[in-house]
Structure 1
Amino acid sequence: MYDFFCAIILGIVEGLTEFLPVSSTGHLILAGSLLGFEGDAATTFKIVIQLGAVLAVLLLYWKRYMSILKDLLAFKFSQKNKLNAIHMIVAMIPALIVYLIFKDVIKTYLFGPGTVLIGLIVGGILMIVAARAKRKVTAENTDNITYKQAFGIGLFQCLALWPGFSRSGSTISGGLLLGTSQKAAADFTFMISVPVMLGATVLDMYESRDLLTSDTLLLFLVGFVAAFIVAMIAVVTFLNLIKRLKLEWFALYRFVLAAVFFLFMM
C-alpha cells in the first residue's frame, strides 16, 4: 500500500514539474529519496511516468503534430516559414545518440540526490547566462526556427540527460543563446518532448522488462494516471507561465531547492 502512496505522490510531482524548467526527473529523484522509494524498479518508474505528463502535451498540440505528420507522409520538407519533421528529427538525434551510448552510466551513476543537486545549480547558472545574453532574436515563433537552430537546441538537450539540468531548461536556454524567442524555444521544447520521451520510455521498459511484474505494472499505471491528470490540469497555466516569466526566477527556485536538500542531506 505504501508503494502505491509513493506512486501517487510522485505522479503528482511529475505532473506539476514536467512543464517547468526545474527538472521533473530531479524532483522525482529527490522526492523518491525522501520517501525511500528507490532501486531499479523505482528508477524505471520515474522514467515511465513522465510519459503520462508528456501525453498532455500531445493532446494540447495534436493539430500541430497531425500537420507535421501529414507533411511527412507527403514528403513536404520545405523549411521556409514552416516547422516540419526535419526540425524535430535533427533536434532529437544528438540526445538519442548520447543516451544510447551512455544510458547504463546515466542510470547507474546519475540517478542520485547528490548529482541532481549539481544539475540544479549548474543548470540554473546556464539559464541565467542565457536569459542575460541578449542575443538578436531571429525566430519569434517555431515556424521561424532554422534547421541549424533546431540542431543546436538538440545539442543543448543532451545536458538534460544529467538529472537536475531539466530538458525544458536546457533547450530553452539553448534556444535563447541561438537566437530564438523564449516563446518559440518553449513551444519547440514541448513539441519535441513527445517523441523523445516516448522513445526513451519504450526503450527503458523493454530493457527493464524483467522488472515488469503484475505488481510493478499496476504501480506504473497508478503513477502514469496521476501524472497525466495533474499535467492536464496544469499544462495550460504552466505553458503560459514559462513563456512569460524570466528564466532567472526558475533559476532562483532551483538554487533554493538545492540548498534545502543539501542541508537535509548533511
Structure 2
Amino acid sequence: MILDRFRVTDRVAVVTGAGRGIGAATAVALAEAGADVVLSARTETQLHEVAARVAAAGRKARIVAADLSDLDAAASLAEAAREAFGRLDIVVNNVGGTMPRAFLDTSTRHLEDAFHFNVATGHALTRAAAPIMLEGRGGSVVNISSTMGRLAGRGFVAYGTAKAALAHYTRLAAADLAPKVRVNAISVGSVATSALEIVTGDDELRGRMERATPLRRIGDPEDIAAAVLYLASPAGGYVTGKLLEVDGGLQAPNLDLGLPDL
C-alpha cells in the first residue's frame, strides 16, 4: 500500500529543538511512523513530556538536554544516537530563530549570531551524522528553514539572510552527500508555536495575519511534521536538494511589523 512508503519502522532519528512546537510534533510523528528518537533541546522537563508521547506511540526516546548553540553539543547528538540505538537514519535540524530588528539596530554581531544559530548548528550535526548514516544504507536530513528566507519584509535582515543561507546549504549538502544521504529543507510559514504567541494571543493581530495568508489560517506544528515525515521516509526517496514550501500559500509577508522609513 502507498501508506507503507511513509513508514520509518525501526529507523533512528535525531530531532533538535524537540521540546515543543515543530520539533515536538515532528518527534512524535516520526515515532508514530515507527522510529526511535533522540530528543534534544534546552529544557529537560519539556523533553520528558515529548518522550512520554514517543513511548505512547510504542517507540523509544533518548533525551539529551543541551544548549545547541554549542556546536560540539549539536555534533554530539549523532554519536548519542549510535550509542543509544546502534544507528542513525534521520536528522531534523529544527533548532534556530532570531528576533526581528530594525536594520540600523541589526549589528554585524546579530547577523553572525543568526547565521551561527540557524546554519552552523545544522552543519555541525549533519557533518557528524553523515559518516554514521554512510555506515548503513544512507539516510535523510531535513532542515527547517523559513518563508522569510525568500520573502522580503522589514525587520528580518538577520533571520531572513540566515534562513536563505540554510536553504542553499541544503542544496549544496545534497550534492555533496548524494546518493546515499538525501538532504532537503522545509520553508515554514506562520505556525502556531511559542515563537508566535504574541500574534496568536491577540485576536486583532491573528486575524490580520490569517487574512493575509491565502489559506486563511495559521499553520499547526503537525502541518510541518507531516512534511518532515514525507521527506524523511521512503515516500520522499526520490527527492533531494529541494525546498518544500509549507506556508499557507504566502507570496508576501503576512504581518507588517510597522517599522518606519529611515
| TM-score, normalised by the number of residues in structure 1 | 0.30
Name whichever structure is richer in helix by fraction. Answer: 1
Give the TM-score normalised by the residue count of structure 2: 0.31
Q: Which has the higher strand share?
A: 2
